[in-house]
Amino acid sequence: MRGRPKRTTKKVKQYGDGDEGSPAPSDEGGQQADATQQRDELEEESVEVGNGEGKKDDENGYDEEDEPVIKKKKATPKKSNTKGAGGKKGAAAPRRARLSVFVNLPLDVVCEILGHLDVQTLLALTRTSQVFRSILVAPSGKGLWKAARERVMLPDLTATDLTEWAYASLVYERSCHCCQKKNAPTVDYCLRGRGCKACMKKNSLRQGKIKFGYHPKTLECVPSSLWMDMEFYWVPTVRHVSSLLYAASKDVPADGGESEFDQLVSERKKIVQCAKADGAKLQFWERTDLNRRKAEEGDLIIKRKEQLEERMRELGYTDQDFSSYAWTSHSLVNQPRELTDRIWNTVRPKLTAVLDDAKGRNGPALPFRPFKFDTFDAFETFM
């Protein structure tokens, strides 16, 4: 590696009267004048040389002026790898700027907007920013959750151990409470737990299967679920309540009154009774809500099919074309989504191709002729 450039000086060679290589004089007077002027004047010139800590002598054939100058590359700014909603790089910053306008709105305006959202959207907003989380998780945000639950007829809980945010997470989230695995279908509203198949087998246990040490009063203070005439307990809840009971048992009142331990046991027993009633209500709500959503999806499918048939009639198709199996079973027809202009422009070429293909395969439609069977003509030959 070459070092920092050094500044040096170089003396100009003087030519005397008898030196070799001196220019030939044109005349004697001019020669003497030039020689005297060269002896009296010394010229120095500053020469910038290239990088090099040690310079070679002229005897080695090294010329400082011939050393190349190393140019530094200009620093180019790095491009952002963040992709926005449109899939283009660098589009996340404008999107964040648009969202910041909503966050900077007055608090009463934000609460008014949040009051018109459903439970799933409120639950997603708690994980969006600290502003929304502080509003929704705080005790003052209980009214927002209650208004959202009333729109879907989700019942109120009589037990006081679950917050509104935890209640919504138990009902609507599909991730396992133990391993955070997505799409965990099994939920037990009495145990207040949701888990995947492996975690439910590991954490939902009978009394004889719980191997770790817990407080003797723990199972009386923990909700249980009845499966196949056997009581099961949620292991994370057992551990938590057992630690609370051990901590409360150390507090012994001096005046002989009710201790903190006795208060905790009585409170937990009330929660156990309320949890069983809440679990039965939630199971009934889940069945009714599933039927309601299926009915709404069926209405949307019928409405979409009618809208599609109306627009296809404008293109020249008839009701007989819509009776083909290719039309009635097509996935673009049987969707629980309302038809819009944008969707119509997308699905029109595909649906017209389906109807044209079905018409060409079946041939021209023939008029319906009912079959008549004359019993006299059939048995006339045997008489």
* CA dist 59 → 49, 67, 273, 330 (Å): 17, 16, 104, 92
* C-alpha to C-alpha distance for 298 and 102, rounded to whole angstroms: 36
Hunting for tokens 């021209």 — which residue is that? 364
Nearest CA-CA partner of 119 in 157, 156, 158, 146: 146
Instruction: Decide if pLDDT at 253 tops 70.
Output: no
Q: How many residues does the chain have?
A: 383
Poorest-pLDDT segment among 49-63, 230-244, 271-285, 337-351 = 49-63
Hunting for tokens 């001096």 — which residue is that? 254
- What is the CA angle 113-278-245, rounded to 5? 105
How many helices and strands, by DSSP H and E, does the chain display?
13, 7
Instruction: Using pLDDT thresholds of 50, 70 and 90, give the confidence band for residue 228.
Output: confident
Q: At 337, is the secondary structure helix, strand, or coil? A: coil
Instruction: Using pLDDT thresholds of 50, 70 and 90, give the confidence band for residue 254.
Output: low
| Token couple for 269 | 């027993």
Instruction: Using pLDDT thresholds of 50, 70 and 90, give the confidence band for residue 255.
Output: low
* C-alpha to C-alpha distance for 58 and 2, rounded to whole angstroms: 19
Poorest-pLDDT segment among 50-54, 196-200, 319-323 = 50-54
| Token couple for 209 | 């299967």
Q: What is the DSSP track for 110-121?
A: HHHHHTTS-HHH
Strand partners for 195: 186
Phi, psi of 204, rounded to the nearest 5 degrees: -105, 100
Instruction: Decide if pLDDT at 57 tops 50.
Output: no
- Sign of the torsion formed by the C-alpha atoms of 180, 191, 133 and 184: positive
Please answer whether residues 91 and 97 qualify as being in contact, where contact means their C-beta atoms are separated by less than 8 angstroms: no
Give the per-residue pLDDT at 211: 81
Q: What mean pLDDT comes out for the span 105-120?
A: 88
